[in-house]
Each structure stands twice: as structure tokens, then as C-alpha cells.
A and B are shown apart, each in its own frame.
Chain A
Amino acid sequence: MNVVSVESVTKRYGSALAVNSVSFSIGEGCIFGLLGPNGAGKTSTIRMLNLITLPDSGTIELFSESQKPEHQNRIGYMPEERGLYRKLPVREQLEYLGALRGLSTQQLKKNIDYWLERFEIENWAKKKTGELSKGMQQKLQFIAALLHDPDLYILDEPLSGLDPINADITDEIILELRAKGKTIILSTHRMEQVEQLCDEIALMNLGSVVIRGSLRDVKQHSGKKMVKFIFDGDDAFVSELSHFPVRIAERHPNELLVEMLPSSSTRELLQYLSEKTNIVTWQTIETPLKEIFLEAINGNPALSQN
């Protein structure tokens, strides 16, 4: 069963084309990465999925039905621009937002208790939201999306502002939800999170979906041969690599990622590098998502002008 099914959806704001004939579908129990640079049309798409705005043309189906207001109770939303009432105490905040998602008072109390405890902020329940640290407000925002036990989660940059421990808790909960058969749309710029969590992805650019498919397929389809070196010492040699048939994809102080072009040989490159520097370790790797995306986006002439 498709939980989300978007068919040729277009949305304009005045003369600006925000979403241009976008189509994708998401199955049950899937973590779907909705990716793309700023201004690609992700937020506009997410707003339409949430019934905040309506498409100008095209159709959106949720839970195999045409979109309708009742669906809002089955969606948990964590917007990219975080927003909570600053003066409202934590518990009242959750009570109000939960009630608006159709939760009964009893159920609300139970769920709020559970999630406050899970995120270890139960002692803050009576504090005003504005008095909480940014990280805690972030947790609160996440709880607001989880509270009513929805079937579809739309999480926009769920990790921003979280320390590594809480980021791990968030990832853990996302995987837990998938195990329960829930569907999650994850919009993020953190490619490592996408690689770890997502089953399917769609990359948007300038309002259109540029790449779409399962993470596996997308990666295999790229068919590039990449080699990653970790070295110790001076990196001046990197600029001399230009006579090799390789392309430098990423360059860090002690790390180098190169794409081997068809005529290049790994052995020759290794030999050359071992003379110039002290190689700690090296490996051939799958093309990182970031690499695939940059290529897809920069291949677009309109964007490369910027």
C-alpha cells in the first residue's frame, strides 16, 4: 500500500514556480529521504503533503485516499522552522498541540508522560517553553510530532541543534517507528544520516525531482569508481595530481577522495602517492550520495551560473 502518492503536482507562488510537476510515491514502513538544496521546493512539497497549501494542479493521495482534512490527525510534522508558544508551559503546549491533532484528554496525558520521560525532560513539564535550552525545545518539537502516534511522519531537519547523544536517540526512534510499520519522510542536508537511515530518496532541484529511487539503486546507478585515501603529513602533492587521469572529489587536510577516470590505474596512483606522502589507509568505496547529488545539481546549467 502506498502511504503517499504524489502525481504531477505543480505549485506556483505568483510568477515563481515552486514545485514543477513532481511525482513520487512512498510505501508503508519506508524511510523516504526528500533531499535537495535550499529553495529546491522541498518545503513547498511538504506543506502540500500537510494540507497547509493545496496544489495548483496534480493530485496527492494519502493512505490510498484523496487528501482530506481528516488526514491531518494521522500526520506528525516537524517543520524546519521550529515554532512553539514561548510563554506556554511545556505540558500545556503539548496538550494544546496534541488536542488539535484529535487526541483525547486521557490519551494525551499518557502519551505526554511517556515522551517527556523518554526524552528526559519530565522535570521541565511546568517550565515555560521559552525558558528551555534550544536543544530541549528541539526535543519538544519532536515530541509534538510523535505525540498522537501518527502513521506518517514528516520530519524536516530533525537533528539540527541536537548534541550527538540526542541525535542518536532521534535516529533510534526513527528506526523504531519504521519497525512498527510507520512511514517517515525525512528532509535533511546531512548526507550521512540519509545513507544510514533512508530506504528511498528523491532529490529535488529548482522545483523538480532530479533523482528518484531506492538508495541502493541510486548508488549503483552512478557506477563511479571512487578511492578514499587517509594520509599523514604534507598535502602539497595534491595539486600535482592533475597529470593523473583522476578527478579530486573531496579534499580535506588528511583525507582525499578521488574519482578514478576510465584510463587510470589504482596501482599507479598508489605508487605515486606513497612516494609523496605517508598513506595511513585507503579503500575503494561506493560513490557517496553527496557526490551523486552535486553532479546531478551542477549538471543543471541554470544552477551552475550561481
Chain B
Amino acid sequence: MNKVSIIIRHEFRQKIRSKAFIIMTLLAPALLALLTAIPILITLLNVNNGKHIVVVDATTHLSNYFTVDSSIITKLGKNFSSAEKIKVDILSSPASNNTTLDSVKHLLGIKQIDGYFIIPEQAINDTNAVALLKMNNTNDLLIEDYISSRYGDGLFTERMRLSGIDANVVRTAQHAHKIETVKVAEGKEARDNGIGFAAGYICGFFIYLSMILYGSLIMQSVIEEKSTRVIELLASSVRPIDILIGKVIGVGAAGLLQVMIWAIMFALVSWFALPAILTSVGTGITTLLSPVLFIYFILYFLFGYLIFSTLYAAAGATVEQASDAQQVTLPITVLIIIPFITISTVIQSPSSTLSIVLSLIPFFSPILMIGRIFSETPPFWQILLSFVLMGATFFGVLWFASKIYRTGILMYGKKFTLREIVRWVRYS
């Protein structure tokens, strides 16, 4: 047992001191932060050059509808901050007035304004009348949406008024339906906003990535020991299964440390910078920060890591170069990819029989069960059962892998087919 701990310590120290590990640990959250910050930065930059539109209203009745109102922009589903700088000047003048048109055209030409909007005289009476929006940049959907919505609203109200109907009555009648989506988790209610789906998907994706990443890390380390032949010396000092266990636990501890560092960084960021975001997305995100979910996440991460890194270690023992590893890792990769492909289906209908069965298959549980837990907490017995199955699978995999590992590390000089490798398990 003592020798296992020496190997664990060695592997752990080697991993956390490697440049790749340090860069990964620091860079990944920075990258994530950058990805979050970019849209905000772009918005901030946009605000600086506000938009200036001139509305030429030949009907002289629609002017009032074009005053900039933030609530209208919010209703359009746009970010208010970027709309703050829309400036609209209204000229109530008949379209025949060529001087007005010429000067507006001139202003657009010298980029004094960003566009102008001409409302024809007959707009209210003639439903076929065409208004004209001329802009420097026709890709600016915000302005187009804003102008179109204001113009439509103005026409609607004015036409109603001409027919003697109160437009507000019609509006109220139209808007009188609202639906609120509520997620029920552990007896508590929380507004969902689709955050559960996203979080389940992200967590599943993270576990998927880490299983492949840490798995291939272990595989490379096994291949390195084999190709440098240092394994001969190790095997003369320690039982092969102890080397295997020491490696898996040592690298796993480094991986866990990495995840913990990320979690702490995330917690700190949410502590200081998140209140603003919290208010905008609501209570959904606080559910996600609950310690219970975090513990589940760590447990599924660990079980997934244990099962797959052990398999990858065995795969590494059967080859001499990383480039030869593809053939033997294929069956393992398939076991990881299947849950990754099915995760969105499972999260969308977490309680369907298919979802329950798939998420209980121990090779799939680390990705699928965590997805289900975030989108709709499954019955506790299913979670417990998945842990029992994963635990049993890990010991089965360890038994299987240690046989392959023990034989593989001493075999040189040829590529082995899967059939031969299976024979090692049977005869050793």
C-alpha cells in the first residue's frame, strides 16, 4: 500500500508541475471569461457611436409616435443600452418639399446622419402607400425594427381613431395572455428560463471533455513508460496493478485539484461580479450554485474519470507509440461519444423510459445522469443506483484493465489485435 502512495504522490507532483497543467488551469477560466466579456464589450463599443435618424413625416400626424422610449426597445427584445443612443429628429413637412428632401439627402451623404425615413402623405388612408427608409448601413436591424414598429403602431392608432375606435382597448384585448414557465425541483419552485437545460448540457459536456482529456493524459503516461522501457524497472519494484492504481489516483487527484480551482474561481467571480447578472436571469442560477448539485457533479466527474482513465491506461499498455493507440481506443471513445450524442434528447425529456435506461448504464451515467439532475431532478433511488452500478463497473474495469496492463507493458515489437488482447485477459 505504501508503494501505491509513492506512485500517487509522484504522478500528482509530475502533473501539477507540468507547464500544460498550469497553463490549462489558468487559461481555461480566462478563456471562458473572455467569451462572456466579448458580447458585453461589443455592446459597450456600439454605444459610443449613437445612431441619428431623421423622420420626414408628410402626414404630419405620426410625429408623436417616434419619440425614443426605452420601454419600446425592451419590448422589441433588444438590449436597451445599445439603443440608448438612437436619436430621432422629426420633420413634419409635405413630401413635395424638395428642399427638405435635398438637405436630408445631403446630410446622409456627408454621414452627418445615419439614415432618413420618409412617410408618404397618404400613408394613413392608403394601405398601399410605401414608406422609404434610407440608411448607410442596412444591416442595422435595431433601427429598422424600431422604425418599423413605431410606424406600424402610429398607423394602427391613427387608423383606429379615424374609424372612431379606441386603439388602447384593442391593444389590451390583444395582449391579455401570459405564460410563466416554472421548474419544480426538490419541492422548491424556481423560474427556469431554460437555464437547467443549458447547465445540464454544459456539465455533461465538461465531464465528456475531462474524461477524454484526462484519459488520454494517463494513456500517454503509460505509453511513455513503456516506450522508454522504464516500466521494466517499475515492474521489478511494484506490482503492476499498484502502478495502475497509483497512476489513476495520482492523475485523478491533479484533475480534481484543477476542477476545484476552477470552482473556487467561479465562486469568487459570482460573489463579486455576478449580482448584476443574477438580477437579470433571475433565481435560476442560484439553484445551480447549490452545494448538493456541486457534490453530484464532482461525484459523477470522479466516477467517469475512474472508469475511463483505467480503460485508457489498459489501452496505452497495448501499444508502443501514441500514434498506434487509435485502434485500441476506438471502443472506449464510442462509450464516451454515445452519451454525448444522446445528452440533448435525454435532457429534453429526462423522465422518459429511454432517458432513464440510458442514464443508468454505468458507462453513460457520468454524462447523462448529471444532465438529468440539472434539468429535472430524478428520483433519488435512480441516482443511488447509478452510483452503485458505476462503483461495480469501476472494479470490473479495474480487474479487466489490470490483466491487460500486466501483460501489455512487457510486450514489444508488434501491434496486437483486439482478439489477442482479449486472450490476455482470459489466460492471465
Q: Do B410 and A100 touch across chains, with their CB atoms under 8 A apart?
A: no
- B1-28: contact bitstring with A at CB < 8 Å (1 yes, 0 no)? 0110011001000100000000000000
Q: Do B410 and A144 touch across chains, with their CB atoms under 8 A apart?
A: no
Interface size on B, residues (CB 8 A): 21
Q: Do B230 and A52 touch across chains, with their CB atoms under 8 A apart?
A: no
- A88, B224: Cα distance in complex, Å: 12
B76 within 8 A of A: no
Q: Do A81 and B238 touch across chains, with their CB atoms under 8 A apart?
A: no
User: Measured between C-beta atoms, what is the minimum distance from B156 to chain A in Å?
Assistant: 74
- A79-98: contact bitstring with B at CB < 8 Å (1 yes, 0 no)? 10111111010000000110
Complex contacts, B235 vs chain A, CB 8 Å? 50, 52
- Closest A residue to B237 by beta carbon equals A100
Given contacts A53-B410, A96-B10, A100-B3, is CB(A79)–CB(B228) below 8 Å?
no
User: Measured between C-beta atoms, what is the minimum distance from A281 to chain B in Å?
Assistant: 45
A75 within 8 A of B: yes
Q: Do B410 and A79 touch across chains, with their CB atoms under 8 A apart?
A: no
User: Measured between C-beta atoms, what is the minimum distance from A108 to chain B in Å?
Assistant: 11
- Closest B residue to A141 by beta carbon equals B233
Q: Do B237 and A72 touch across chains, with their CB atoms under 8 A apart?
A: yes
A211 within 8 A of B: no
A69 within 8 A of B: yes
A77 within 8 A of B: yes
Given contacts A52-B410, A100-B3, A100-B6, is CB(A69)–CB(B239) below 8 Å?
yes
A window 49-63: CB within 8 A of B:
50-53
User: Measured between C-beta atoms, what is the minimum distance from A172 to chain B in Å?
Assistant: 24
Complex contacts, B61 vs chain A, CB 8 Å? none
Contact of B231 among A73, A83, A99, A102 (CB under 8 A): A83
Contact of A86 among B3, B10, B228, B239 (CB under 8 A): B228
B232 within 8 A of A: yes
User: Measured between C-beta atoms, what is the minimum distance from B316 to chain A in Å?
Assistant: 16
A window 227-250: CB within 8 A of B:
none
Q: Do A83 and B10 touch across chains, with their CB atoms under 8 A apart?
A: no
Complex contacts, A75 vs chain B, CB 8 Å? 236
Complex contacts, B230 vs chain A, CB 8 Å? 83-85
Q: Do A79 and B237 touch across chains, with their CB atoms under 8 A apart?
A: no
B window 192-249: CB within 8 A of A:
224-225, 228-239
* Of listed B2, B3, B233, B239, residue having the most chain A CB within 10 A: B233
- A113, B8: Cα distance in complex, Å: 25
> How many interface contacts (CB-CB < 8 Å) are there between A and B?
56
A47 within 8 A of B: yes
Complex contacts, A53 vs chain B, CB 8 Å? 410
- A22-51: contact bitstring with B at CB < 8 Å (1 yes, 0 no)? 000000000000000000000000010011
Contact of A99 among B6, B225, B232, B236 (CB under 8 A): B6
Q: Do B3 and A79 touch across chains, with their CB atoms under 8 A apart?
A: no
User: Measured between C-beta atoms, what is the minimum distance from A32 to chain B in Å?
Assistant: 18
Given contacts A100-B237, A100-B238, A101-B237, is CB(A52)–CB(B3) below 8 Å?
no
- Closest B residue to A12 by beta carbon equals B427
Complex contacts, B410 vs chain A, CB 8 Å? 47, 52-53
- A96, B250: Cα distance in complex, Å: 14
Complex contacts, A99 vs chain B, CB 8 Å? 6
A-side interface size class: 20 to 34
Interface SS of A by simple majority: loop
- Closest A residue to B228 by beta carbon equals A83
- Closest B residue to A53 by beta carbon equals B410
- Closest B residue to A76 by beta carbon equals B236
User: Measured between C-beta atoms, what is the minimum distance from A163 to chain B in Å?
Assistant: 23
Complex contacts, B225 vs chain A, CB 8 Å? 83, 85
Complex contacts, A88 vs chain B, CB 8 Å? 14
User: Measured between C-beta atoms, what is the minimum distance from B160 to chain A in Å?
Assistant: 80
- Closest A residue to B406 by beta carbon equals A53
Complex contacts, A73 vs chain B, CB 8 Å? 237
Complex contacts, B14 vs chain A, CB 8 Å? 88
Contact of B233 among A69, A79, A86, A102 (CB under 8 A): A79
Complex contacts, A144 vs chain B, CB 8 Å? 233
- A72, B2: Cα distance in complex, Å: 14
Contact of A81 among B2, B6, B232, B237 (CB under 8 A): B232
User: Measured between C-beta atoms, what is the minimum distance from B275 to chain A in Å?
Assistant: 46
User: Measured between C-beta atoms, what is the minimum distance from B313 to chain A in Å?
Assistant: 17
- Closest A residue to B424 by beta carbon equals A14
Contact of A77 among B3, B224, B236 (CB under 8 A): B236
Contact of A97 among B224, B228, B229, B237 (CB under 8 A): B237
Q: Do A51 and B229 touch across chains, with their CB atoms under 8 A apart?
A: no
User: Measured between C-beta atoms, what is the minimum distance from B352 to chain A in Å?
Assistant: 49
* Of listed A47, A99, A101, residue having the most chain B CB within 10 A: A99
B window 405-424: CB within 8 A of A:
410
A window 80-135: CB within 8 A of B:
81-86, 88, 96-97, 99-102
Complex contacts, A52 vs chain B, CB 8 Å? 232, 235-236, 410
Q: Do B239 and A79 touch across chains, with their CB atoms under 8 A apart?
A: no
* Of listed A51, A82, A96, A101, residue having the most chain B CB within 10 A: A96
List chain B positions with a Cβ less than 8 A from chain A: 2-3, 6-7, 10, 14, 224-225, 228-239, 410
Knowing that A81-B232, A84-B233 are A-B contacts, what are 5 other residue pairs whose CB atoms are under 8 Å apart, sorted by A's residue number? A52-B410, A72-B237, A100-B7, A100-B238, A101-B237
List chain A positions with a Cβ less than 8 A from chain B: 47, 50-53, 69, 72-73, 75, 77, 79, 81-86, 88, 96-97, 99-102, 144
- CB<8 Å pairs between A and B, sample of 16: A50-B235, A52-B236, A69-B239, A77-B232, A77-B236, A79-B229, A79-B236, A82-B229, A83-B228, A83-B229, A84-B230, A85-B225, A96-B6, A97-B233, A97-B237, A100-B7
Query: Top 10 A-B pairs ranked by shortest CB distance?
Result: A83-B229, A83-B230, A100-B237, A50-B236, A81-B229, A79-B232, A52-B235, A77-B236, A99-B6, A83-B228
